[in-house]
Structure 1
Amino acid sequence: MPTTTAANINRPIDPLDLQSYPLAWKVVAVLIGTLFLALSSYIAVPLWPVPVTMQTFAVTLVGAVYGWRLGGITITAWLLQGALGLPVLAGGAAGVLKFVGPTAGYLFAFPLAGMLVGWLVGRGWNGHRVKLAFLAMLAGNALCLVLGAAWLAVLIGAEQAVMAGVVPFLLGTVLKSALGAATLNVMVQGAKRIAQ
């Protein structure tokens, strides 16, 4: 029976082992990831000026599972799809104007958040240690809130940006981070069973 060593706990987690696959498989993984991100965008509670969606859950999970490089590429590809007019953003929205409106800061934060989570997971903040995985997800979500509110502050002022673009999302941020950490843990445990 395998034992859990410090080296195994801290090793980068890649449940899909994407780095060992050829480029064609990585392209397929990016397409699947963009589909997952698009579907997460349709799970929304409409609030103004920024809707509550499952996008940050998907962004942080893609970063965690794909790693910081491929995760960043996947999230950027999804945003490019939205900019080109595909209905993949919150509630099926699309178009270049979304990247200059109230949600622009959040959108531009998504690749950075996914990359941050992927980077942390690669340094042991992974599903082997659920508390650290939760903190990694929380860090990604917090980065989205900070950058999103910073852009929103340019449009409506700092105080209003915090009240409209951060405060309503704090509970959801914690819940989505916990869900992301739990999902990552399940994936890690599944990968461990397959490897045995």
Structure 2
Amino acid sequence: MDLLKTNTIQKVLKTFILIFIGTMALTVSAKLKIPFYPVPMTMQTFVVLFLGIAFGYKIGLASVAVYLLEGILGMPVFSNSPEKGIGIVYFTGPTMGYLIGFLFASFFAGYLNLNKNIFIIFGKLIFSVSVIYVFGAIWLGTLIGWDKPILQLGVTPFLLAELFKICLLAILAKQIIKFRKFI
């Protein structure tokens, strides 16, 4: 009985540690701006997909959810916070759709079987990251109006950077999945 209790406690503790590591990685990835064309790039979407692949869909999704909760509660974890606001005010701004899309992208990256060839992995990662942009574009259009060029404002400038990040993840995916067995 004590062994079962000890194993359960260890598993819960390990899960909390992994979620904490995930939220810290997301925070750091949101704050670092990498010069890129046509707009500076953060590594947030890379980390969102990485968390799903490395930790599995449950812990990856939990990491993103806790990260979003931290931001909603006012911790300056989001990109451009605290400069452009914090908490629910920042969350409900132009990036809310993308942030909600992070939940689904991390889930799909962790849930979809990525033990295939690199082209199938690439396609699944494209699908996963596309969910972010679908939610982002829908929210952006709702917020600023559908008469504006939503795709040119909220999707197109980021596509080259996303392609770079997805190619990198597709190459690393099998090694990342092997890592999952140790956690």
Q: Say if 1:63 and 1:116, in contact at 8 Å, map to a contact too.
A: yes
* Distance of 2:40 and 2:179 partners within structure 1: 33
Per-residue CA deviation, residues 116-157 of structure 1 (Å, 9 max, x unaligned), is 11111xxx324x532222222211211101110100001223
Q: What is the aligned partner in structure 2 of residue 155 from structure 1?
A: 143
Q: Deviations over 1:73-132 (max 9, x none)?
A: 110001111111222111444311122111111111111110011111xxx324x53222
Amino acid at match of 1:162: L
- Which ranges in structure 2 are unaligned for 5 or more consecutive residues? 1-9
Task: Give the drift of 1:161.
Answer: 1.4
Which AA in structure 1 matches 2:139?
W
Which is worse superposed, 24-33 or 80-89?
A: 80-89
Alignment of 1:180-195 (within 5 A): 180-188=169-177
TM-score (norm 2): 0.81
Q: Is the 8 A contact 2:53 2:110 kept in 1?
A: yes
Displacement of 1:44: 2.4
Aligned counterpart, 2:18: 29
- Whether the 8 Å contact between 1:51 and 1:90 is mirrored in structure 2 is no
2:23 and 2:66 in contact (8 A); partners too: yes
**What is the identity, as a one-letter code, of the residue corresponding to 1:98?**
Y
**Identical amino acids, percent of aligned pairs:** 34
Alpha-carbon separation, structure 1, partners of 2:20 and 2:13: 11
* Long gaps (5+) in structure 1: 1-20
Report the Cα offset of residue 166 of structure 1.
0.7
Q: Which residue of 1 aligns with 2:118?
A: 130
| In the alignment, structure 1 residue 85 sits paired with structure 2 residue 74 | yes
- TM-score normalised by length of structure 1: 0.76
In the alignment, structure 1 residue 106 sits paired with structure 2 residue 98 = yes
Cα distance in structure 2, aligned partners of 1:173 and 1:99: 22
Query: Are the structure 2 counterparts of residues 160 and 84 from structure 1 closer, same or farther at C-alpha, using a change threshold of 3 Å?
Result: same
Q: Relative to 1, partners in 2 of residues 1:45 and 1:102: Cα closer, same or farther, differing over 3 Å?
A: farther
The alignment's C-alpha RMSD in Å is 2.5
Alpha carbons of structure 1 residues 23 and 179: separation in structure 2 relative to 1, 3 Å: same
Equivalenced residues, count:
167
